[in-house]
A and B are shown apart, each in its own frame.
Chain A
Amino acid sequence: MKLILLLCALPTIAWPAAKVISLRTVPAQATIQGARATQQFLAIAKFSDGAERDVTAQAEWRIDKPIAKLTGTARVAPLADGTATLQATLAGAQARSLIKITNATASQPVSFRREIAGILTTRGCNNAICHGGVKGQGGFKLSANALYPADDYDWILKGGGYQVLTSEVKGERIPRVDLKNPQQSLLLSKATNTKPHAGGKRLELDGDDYKTILAWLQNGAPFGDKNAASLTRLDIFPSMAVMPLEGQHRLLVTAHFSDNHTEDYTHQALYTINDGEVASVSAAGVITAKRRGETAILVRAAGQLASAGVGVTGAPLTNYPKLTSNNFIDDHINDKLRRFQILPSDPATDSEFLRRICLDLTGTLPPPARVREFLASRDPSKRSKLIDALIGSPEFVDYWTFRYADLFRVSIFANALSAKGMAEYWEWIRNNIDTNRPYDEVARERIAIEGYKPPSRHFLPYAVIATPQEAMGEQVRVFFGRRMDCAQCHNHPYENWSQDQFWGMAAFFSRMFRMGSIVMDHPTNMDLGTKDVGGSMDLLHPRTKAAVKPAVLDNAKLAITPEGNPRRELARWMTSHPYFAESTVNRIWGHFFARGIVDPVDDFRSTNPPTHPELLAALGADFVKHRYDLRHLMRTIANSRTYQTSHKPNSTNRDDVVNYSRALPRGIDAEVLLDAVTDVTGLPEAFSTAITDGATVGQAPTGTRAIQLRDPDTFYSRFLELYGRANRGAVPERSNKPNLSQALHLLAGSTYTDRLSRPNGRLAKLLAAGAPDETIFTEFYLAALTRAPDAAELSELKSVLAQRTDREAALREFVWALISSREFAENH
């Protein structure tokens, strides 16, 4: 512990001007039960510069009565029963906590349940990638982070291990303990690497943990009280640890048990940090800042997971300005920017704003005339008027129909749908967007609909992908922003979800039935005239083989009738759960900011915390208050100062990617980019397909935009493939990263070469009208970049042009360069 003490002893001298105004200790009172228990305390000082910092290591600690002693920094161990006061002093400020001690002298043997399971966790033995993996490692299995200590105890004392698909215990019965020769136990010899251990050395021979395990073995390796309360939740203080560069912050982990008592688990938890470049964390939960930024620390103990945010701030800025706030979004964003001493970029220029809002709301670039008009307008409320004009416009309906057709997977091939069925499903989506139907209604209908009408008949999980668990997994991902898949075969390694919860949720979808190769939802009100219809299907738990009853994640009691459709109850429960609103607003937020408050937008889990939890909650509440109105949500976002910020970085926010201090440039989605190429060149894309089934013909009507294709997967487009259009065979995941094939296509592909030689485009028309070079450059800049070229650019363009004898060819090369540029291909 020497190194840690040394670091702690360093004074926080980075802010000589700041004085301690007040001091508080955390927790304010604590009960320490039993001789083995300890309690960690923290001292938090408020400074004259407004910041709060952890000064636990700098404060002087004293206990007023000899019933307890200090071990390590501000950690209290019991000596005798009674009450005492712990006092912290720093720079003249004082704070006190009350300590109550019970059972200080009762003898307490080391138990598996608490001490040994804790060591297996803190030493990483039961980590999901080691013995805590689905099948363990090297034939030795432990439950992840000691979720099931009784199973672990059996596997250690008797051998064998968990099987994914059966409840039988299989595997070699090798006991990991030798009670006659405790020191020879594999539990010790492997962990100390005295016997070769693929996981390396985990324990120091004769270290504290080694001695604890040895004492436990020598005492007959007791499990402990089987009926003892179980750990239900971990609380971490603080939920967001903010510290300056070179600063430190200590975490306090409190375990809550099923009998409502709490214990300090700071020293029984395993700490891992998501981004080790930003900060490091010690085994005692002390975070040391390394560079400016934000990350999260995951805390694991007794099968439970929790996480805390970590923020390392830059040097305080003198005269941090008051930031503009247009609405509650800005209040939250500004608050955190100030805490981190980051200045947002300048407001976006009218050009930047116009291009961005048109792409984000309509997936369509504004034509030059609209650009000129907007830039020329002196109306102070022109931005909000534009937002109102765009929301609900035909382009808006096209674009959001496309976005939701993606998310809801309208696809002939992936769904094995008829063209007619697919078209009905698409119409259903379009109608919802067009009428701005409340999103909870949309979700409920999609989750619970029965029979042959859209979206049921044409919805993939019922049409071709058969299993209830997959249908459930998709709904949870789309409407809850969560991925339960891992829990299908085992308890989720990064989330507090068990396999039983997974199957309980899946059972809501078990009333689907199969007719031939088609799987349909259970049609309670349909008579299809076949004996296949009408029965309910029991979903069997893969391990226990028992029929699973539908059960929601929080075990809420739902009124499910045996003959009813349980998905109706599920749909009601899901859409009234806070997860629904929060994951929906997060998905939309991610669309406008290239990053979710939880990111990826559909990967909510306790180990992937939001960057702005209060903002997320506020957006969710506002969404509910406004009856799940997506347009209202978009309008609120688009009118915020945060959204209307430039992408041009300043000296304080160049590295910031999580605080929305500037717009993050991102690649434009394939379909939108192709439409933009079409608009700029004035040459439409011809979409053709070989499918001639029903509603679809071989050729999309001339002028059809990529975002207007109802059944895009029947249309070939090398461009859309290369730029990553979504595969609707699964919940879409797009990656707009450049790749080699794009580079080849840029150089030699038809989108960028053949197209430019075609007649009747923007260039041909300008040439025919006898436009001078400068007009041509400007028109194309307005069309592609929503801005005119500046003087330096114009002069450089002219000089490149002058080097070519063939003017028309050279201007084609200019257009090629324009649509190949990053400024064009990105939304910024």
Chain B
Amino acid sequence: MRHPASRRSFISAGSLGFLGLSLRNSLAADAVNPNPKAKSVILFWLEGGPSHIDTWDPKSNSNFKPISTNVPGIRVSELLPKMAKRMDKFALVRSMHTRGTDHPQATHYAITGHEINPAMQFPSVGSIVTKELGPRNAVPAHILVPKWDRTRQYEEYFRAAFLGGDYDPMCIPDPAKPGFQVTDLSLPKTISQASVDSRSAFLKAVDRRYRELNDTADHTNMDAFTAQAMKMITTPAVRDAFDLAKESDKMKERYGKDSIGQSCLLARRLVEAGSRFVTAAGYHGTSWDTHSDNDKGHRDRLAPTLDRTLTALVEDLEERGLLESTLVIAMGEFGRTPHINPALGRDHWPNCWSLALAGGGIKPGQAIGKSDERGANVIDRVVTMGDLFATIYHALGIDWKKEYMSPIGRPIKIANSLDDRTGSPVMELLG
């Protein structure tokens, strides 16, 4: 006779694997940061992919000069003068090595850690963070701002896939556009309290007969969601979180009055109010995808807005005492080629690229990893997307070794690295 208890627990862990997490998690207890500082994440999404050698990893094959920063030994491109003065607030990673040579593939990879697979959909890092941490203060936990106006497919990559619709990002319009309003968070003026009451009374009358017959879990869940939705709609703090009119003109100016700046400003408001993962994706209209005239694009449009908004965001978070609890990541889906093409542009380069981090317990004032003299290859300290995800999870106190079971029982690593390995947190970044 075997021990009934251990036998039973083994059976549940060993059936189709849906309950198998418990065993794995018990093995992975060492993968949780006991003192996480970060409570939320702002992903400043540099759509199109910045040229790393013209920004955070200056090289001689860039036409821009490197300048020194307020951290001895770290130099950045002359296109980032504001960041240079604040480098002690940032950490750079100059050794990203990832997958995906075109935008859809690379964006999918950067947001999910997995290559596109027509056989299944993967949850995004934002959905995973939202699921693991849960919402705060009734504020929508996962936000994407602004939503794409043209290539809607990108939005799919940010969704929660099999984790369920509750972890999908709320995709909201461009806050820099006049008449900006968030859908579904406030009742139209035509709907008075009397209307709300009357609606409920009618609904009860219509639904009674059917629901007496069919008392399903879906119905109970929908009731709970309706109550929660009502609370969100009637809680002023929730609406206020989305209300940029509450910011001074000076503050708007500081972030920049374009969609890049206003998305980041809104991200700060949301994080302040309780959101967990906000993607500020203000570069839809002015992408970093400089296949022609790379230098002009970086000099005139791209680097100045990045320099302005990223510095403003980090300074503002610090002034509000939110920097330590907010992990800021500025990155695109890849870097750009070390060589210039015939159109004077630079093309896609996932092989070696850079990103910037701040806050959330990240140890600032350092540059992780090294690329070769042209920025073509990583020569020291490869950081994969799985490593970056693991770093994010570690900063937030999430078990980065965790695996989810897909609906058909395939284990999906939440920090998926190259060659089907789990990434490791970049511990140098975590102080």
Contact = CB atoms under 8 A, between A and B. Distances in A.
A809 B23 contact: no
A782 to B, nearest CB: 14
A2 B4 CA distance: 13
14 contacts: A4-B1, A124-B14, A137-B27, A273-B11, A276-B8, A483-B119, A647-B214, A716-B152, A735-B165, A739-B165, A797-B205, A814-B202, A817-B206, A823-B209
A813 to B, nearest CB: 5
A770 to B, nearest CB: 22
B199 A727 contact: no
Residue of B159, B202, B225, B226 with most chain A CB atoms under a 10 A cut-off = B202
Interface in B188-204: 188, 190-191, 194-195, 198-203
A367 interface: no
B117 A470 contact: yes
A803 B210 contact: no
Interface in A271-317: 272-274, 276, 283, 298
Contacts of A493: 17, 409
Contacts of A820: 199, 203
B209 A793 contact: yes
B426 to A, nearest CB: 23
B2 A204 contact: yes
Given A165-B420, A747-B226, A800-B201, A823 B14 contact: no
A729 B11 CA distance: 36
B152 A413 contact: yes
Contacts of B226: 743, 746-747
B186 interface: yes
A465 B225 contact: no
B120 interface: yes
A60 interface: no
A757 B187 CA distance: 14
Contact of A747 (B120, B211, B229, B410): B229
Interface residues of B, number: 85
A648 B212 CA distance: 10
Interface string A718-731: 10011010010111
B219 A822 contact: yes
A200 interface: yes
B183 A750 contact: yes
Contacts of A748: 183-188, 191, 233
B142 to A, nearest CB: 11
B149 A822 contact: no
B209 A790 contact: yes
Residue of B121, B150, B206 with most chain A CB atoms under a 10 A cut-off = B206
Given A485-B117, A745-B184, 17 more contacts: A201-B6, A461-B118, A465-B116, A470-B117, A473-B118, A477-B119, A649-B214, A730-B118, A733-B162, A738-B221, A738-B225, A739-B168, A747-B230, A748-B233, A793-B205, A797-B202, A816-B199
Contact of A822 (B101, B116, B207): B207
Interface in B1-48: 1-3, 6-8, 10-17, 20, 23-24, 26-27
A413 B105 CA distance: 12
B20 A474 contact: no
Contacts of A828: 210, 214
Contact of A741 (B14, B101, B165): B165
Chief secondary structure at chain B's binding surface: helix
Contacts, number: 252
Interface of B: 1-3, 6-8, 10-17, 20, 23-24, 26-27, 101-102, 104, 116-121, 149-153, 156, 159, 162, 164-166, 168, 170-171, 183-188, 190-191, 194-195, 198-203, 205-211, 213-214, 216, 218-219, 221-222, 225-226, 228-230, 232-233, 407-410, 419-420
A483 B120 CA distance: 10
B119 A665 contact: no
A470 B118 contact: yes
A813 B198 contact: yes
Contact of A804 (B116, B166, B194): B194
Interface residues of A, number: 107
B209 to A, nearest CB: 7
B16 A494 contact: yes
B323 to A, nearest CB: 30
Contacts of A797: 202, 205-206
A276 B11 contact: yes
A198 B408 contact: no
A727 B17 contact: no
B419 A165 contact: yes
Contacts of B219: 822
Given A124-B14, A201-B6, A477-B119, A485 B410 contact: yes
Contacts of B17: 128-129, 493-494
Interface string A787-814: 0001001001100100110000110011
A820 B191 CA distance: 16
A749 interface: yes
A730 B119 contact: yes
B292 to A, nearest CB: 18
Interface in A620-673: 647-649, 665, 667
A272 B170 contact: no
Contact of B205 (A416, A733, A754, A800): A800
Interface in A654-709: 665, 667, 690-691
Nearest 5 CB-CB pairings of A with B:
A413-B153, A817-B202, A739-B165, A823-B210, A743-B229
A110 B131 CA distance: 50
A82 B202 CA distance: 81
Contacts of B409: 493-494
A741 B168 contact: yes
B222 A822 contact: yes
A750 B190 CA distance: 12
Contacts of A474: 118-119
Interface in A470-522: 470, 473-474, 477, 483, 485-486, 489, 493-494, 517
A204 B6 CA distance: 12
Contacts of B232: 744
Contacts of B185: 744, 748
B165 A727 contact: no
Nearest to A828: B214
B120 to A, nearest CB: 6
Contacts of B410: 485-486
A402 to B, nearest CB: 18
A564 interface: no
A745 B297 CA distance: 40
A494 B410 CA distance: 10
A648 B213 contact: yes
A266 interface: no
B225 A743 contact: yes
B214 A600 contact: no
Residue of A413, A461, A483 with most chain B CB atoms under a 10 A cut-off = A413
Contacts of A427: none
A435 B260 CA distance: 51
A696 B120 CA distance: 28
A740 B226 CA distance: 7
Interface in A319-347: none
A254 B24 CA distance: 33
A378 interface: no
Contacts of B3: 201
A204 to B, nearest CB: 7
Contacts of A128: 17
B205 A731 contact: no
Nearest to A780: B206
Residue of B120, B171, B200, B222 with most chain A CB atoms under a 10 A cut-off = B222
Given A470-B117, A483-B408, A493-B409, A737 B164 contact: yes
A751 B186 CA distance: 14
Nearest to A471: B118
Contacts of B210: 821-823, 828
B183 A665 contact: no
Contacts of A390: none
Contact of A647 (B104, B164, B165, B213): B213
